[in-house]
Amino acid sequence: VAGHGEGSVQETCRGSSPHCSCWLGDPCCRRPTIRSCWRYSFRHHQQEANDTGGFMIQVVEERVLGAGQQIEEQMAADVGIKVFKLSVPANFDANSPITLSP
């Protein structure tokens, strides 16, 4: 199904109609389905989180966002949801304890 891949940042689809080819044109379908593309599903959850006072956490590995993360970031701006970024260094060891500070 078109739109199921990660895609490029330049693509116009941001998970909302009329730009999302996976929206399927069904105005009654509000929740993503197995046939929805990842962008539609992700944006739906961003909107739900924003509507209920939530936020988005984005993990940034080695100071670089992947193509999909860049699309998620643009969709977050469209939705208006607050985004917190967690930077992870190249030498991050998931087995070592970490300390978070304010």
Instruction: Give residue 16's pLDDT.
Output: 67
CA–CA distances in Å: residue 54 to residues 2, 13, 45, 50, 80: 30, 23, 10, 5, 11
- 8 Å CB contact between 36 and 49: no
What b/e readout covers 71-95, taking b as 16+ CB neighbours within 10 angstroms? bbbebbeebebeeeeeeeeeeeeee
On the question of a cis peptide bond just before residue 97, with omega within 30 degrees of 0, the verdict is: no
CA–CA distances in Å: residue 93 to residues 58, 69, 96: 18, 22, 6
User: Residue 44 pLDDT > 60, yes or no?
Assistant: yes
Q: What percent of the chain has pLDDT over 70?
A: 66
Instruction: Give residue 93's pLDDT.
Output: 82
